[in-house]
A = this chain, B = another copy of it.
Amino acid sequence: MSARNYTNDGGEFQSPALDRLVRSLSSLPGLGRKSATRIALHLIAQKASSEELLVAAAEAAEKVTNCSNCGAITEPDPCRICCSERRDPTQLCIVASPVDVLPFEKAGFFSGRYFVLGGLLSPLDGVRAGDLPFDRLAERVNRDGVTEVILALDASVEGETTALYLQRLLDGRNIKMTRLAIGIPVGGALAYTDEVTLQRAFQGRRSF
């Protein structure tokens, strides 16, 4: 006996609308088909939760923007960091993405301002110097009289490449350039630290 299939058609559900919702949710970062299905069924079952999410997403899409000065995520433009008198304009932290501002602001120790590059140099992916706002950065550095630039870029090949480019770009301006230390994270287990990180932590060892 050949296997017969009693299911009506290709869709997983008896509902094209639900199939579309699952497909749409599956395209979000970090959500596989199973998680997307679980969320879709929750949204269908809990109309109130679904309503709230729709309103929140529409509102965020309308209100949230990037600061025209630094590139951070904000509602007012320029953002509150760029407008704050308490933030030192001469200390500039350069990050790759608007998201990278968040851990700094969460920790709350940094009193300077930011500049979001919006990407990292990557010859392999075709991201060249002309694609990133280095002109705007140089202008900002001049305008604000920046005296220290902190590079807070990923510890990847692209991060290194971009760091080297920035070093050359801002060379000869009497600006102190620093980078975030590479080492063992707080609470990290030495036994599970990868060799490259361990070597960098060793090279960067400090007297005690």
Chain A residues within CB distance 8 Å of chain B: 3-8, 12-18, 20-21, 23-25, 27-31, 35, 37-44, 47, 49-54, 56-64, 72-76, 79-81, 84, 86-87, 98-99, 102, 105-106, 108-111
Contact = CB atoms under 8 A, between A and B. Distances in A.
A199 to B, nearest CB: 29
Contacts of A43: 28, 57, 60-61
B15 A74 contact: yes
A63 B17 contact: yes
A56 to B, nearest CB: 4
A179 to B, nearest CB: 21
B49 A27 contact: yes
Given A15-B63, A17-B63, A29-B42, A24 B53 contact: yes
Contacts of A81: 8, 14
Contact of A20 (B23, B56, B102): B56
Contact of A15 (B29, B75, B106): B75
Contacts of A49: 24, 27-28
Contacts of A106: 7, 12
Closest 9 CB pairs of A and B: A5-B108, A21-B60, A24-B56, A17-B63, A7-B108, A21-B56, A17-B60, A14-B74, A15-B75
A81 B6 CA distance: 9
A116 B102 CA distance: 46
Nearest to A105: B7
A40 B58 CA distance: 11
Contacts of A99: 41
Contacts of A72: 14
Contact of A73 (B5, B15, B108): B15
Contacts of A8: 80-81, 84
Contacts of A37: 102
A13 B53 CA distance: 18
